[in-house]
Structure 1
Amino acid sequence: MNIKGLGIAIATTIFVGTTAWYIKPFGLFNPATKEVISAYAQDGDETAVKVYAKVSPAVVSINTGSKTGSGTIISSEGLVLTNAHVVQGDRTATIILANNKQIAGDIIGFGAKGLDLAVIKLRGQNKLPVVPFASTNSVLVGQRVFAIGNPFGQFSGSLTTGIISRIDREKGLIQTDAAINPGYSGGPLLNTKGELIGVNSGIFTKQTPGGGSGNIGISFAISTEKVQSFLSDVRAGSAAQTAQIPANPGRSSVHSEALARFEAALKQNPQDYRAQNGRGLALGNLGRAEEALAAFEQALKINPSFTEAWNGKGITLGRLKRHEQALAAFEQALKINPSAEAWNGKGIALGSLGRDQEALAAFEQALKINPSFTPAQRNRTIALKKLNS
């Protein structure tokens, strides 16, 4: 380690056993091993602990049946701030508090003009913990930040830390290197006082040669300046009632290209049920649920035994809140091919109908077929919490 220019001359020396440690402004330095113990590590740890203790009771997990995410309680009466893409296409959601209590919530407003924000109103609440907002324009590049959320819908109450890497005030975005993974969407980005400075919204990923992608240390949150103007619309009753963003933000062009390819294939062969099914998947990912449903039904007219189309139909019917029909579609898929995907879909439909014990049994059946099937693992955990609450 090159210590040139790191600070003033040595103030004093201490011995741990026979090892000399030099006290420097940045901490303890061992010249023999080049080891450094930061003077700020303990203070940083204490700050993280205090922020988590203060804020985590007001951070929630969100489950719509087909999507999961995180949210922040911003009023004691039960207003929950989250991302629009977490609840897009839904009117209600199940909110899981930090104590695992589950409460039904109604989506009462979405951000306008592509703003990826939404507010959920919890039913029958008036004494909930809240997260305070930071002062306007108080964030600075380099300051320490914290994110709390429910990564992958399985690890609620997870904390990560980082710094603010960049601020785009024109777009209202905060860039951070805090690890924000799927499931953190909608959760809070916090300063060292435990105040809300942003709503975690997404990550920048770089495609790898093998076709995968991952967090490379570039995450984004919507700044509270954008949030406050949106909340004014919500309170005034003038907020949009449907999401103003494309499905799967940042990937709409991919799904549009896929849709074009499937439609080109159908021009060549209108009886290609696989292309029709692919068209349904692309339409669904673009948020065009009714058209997706029609595509799956067309695929099934061509080949009534094509289980992928039955599953696609069931998922789409669930998004349209037609849960009895969704259940029937998944049951038909199971008659043809009892797959983990179909059992999981049946469980979601049963849960949406309030048949929680049957839903749990369906998720367990999915896991018997494929023990590593993550959606069924996650949904089984949620069903157990719901039955035990």
Structure 2
Amino acid sequence: MSAVHPAGRTQRRSPATPVRIAARALLGALAILSLLSGIAGGLWRAGIALPDGRAFPWAGQWLLAHAALMICGFFGTVIGIERAVALRHRAAFLAPLASGAGALCLALGQQALGAWLCVVAAACFLAVGVVVVRRQAAPHTFLLLVGALAWAVGSLLFAQGRAGHAVLPWWFAFLVLTIAAERLEMTRLMKRRPGAAAALHAVLALLLLGAAWSGAAPRGGGLAYGAALALLAAWLAVFDVARRTVRTHGLARYMAVCLLGGYAWLGVAGVAWAATALGWPARDVALHALGLGFVVGMVMGHAPVVLPAVARVKLAFGNFFYLAPAALHLSLLLRFAAGAFSQPLHAAGAAGNAATLGFFAATLAGAALAWRWRHGTAGAGKTPR
């Protein structure tokens, strides 16, 4: 969501105070810590130990809590901050604060406390979703609320010590439903074919059914979940505005390229998820085509719009923005295609995934500095509208 009031009115921002600056710094630090520890755990999972993970006292926790650190810790905190900024209510910041604190506990080896803080974060986020729906009852706000509920269910199962095949479908449903809601919000004025909305509702219902079913019957639930992901990819490719805006220029085209690439990876994730349920060795493809190819691809596409609205940082857009998505796709292809036949190539692809995240962060920082250089510090201090 952008920095717009849920009722649709653009809000004037209050001036920054030392307390607000400190709060933003704390939340930002918790999100960055979650990301870095999650990446480290993922690299060690891929067999990369540079530096050697055994030299760090909490390395084992980062490895075991990789998914929780990335989904609840990083994405949960970032999405929670975005939603709190849009809602403009101090209590809404309890959700990202709890998720960031939970990730910190997980990174430090406090598994139980960290897991229950994730439950608290999801519950607070769910309450925020209820407020948003009360302010603006619309299909995309209801979908955001359902996504928040999925995060809460997954976190509760995680706190109860349930296995990954029961937890991960709910956590990923949180991210997928949130992204689908964002796309509905941004394209709500588009005219769609009759039956498009009903088809989307059916696909998302199948996604939730697959998540619920996976805990009791991983095979059947996984097949349903994978089918829902693949069908959602097809729906987005057909009905999202990106297939039109990709023929435009500038930022709109960049966003469309990122979105369409993400939809392709979502389709790959759906097929791989179903294949994993059937016993094929496709789990790495299922999880990371979804988490990196789709979710991170969507982040790259929306960041030039969301970051100025949430963080009051203006960016100078240029063709250099295309480099990070291209690196993401190439490193994923190396990881999945060549990596299927060679462990070193698989590890190289995983290292490329991590490097791409750092490269994209550097791209955003460079774009912010470029804007300041072009417009001067006086222009950079103005509040984005």
Task: Judging by fraction of residues, say which structure has more helix.
Answer: 2
Whether TM exceeds 0.5 here: the answer is: no
Question: What TM-score, normalized to structure 1?
Answer: 0.31
Which has the larger strand fraction?
A: 1
Larger Rg: 1
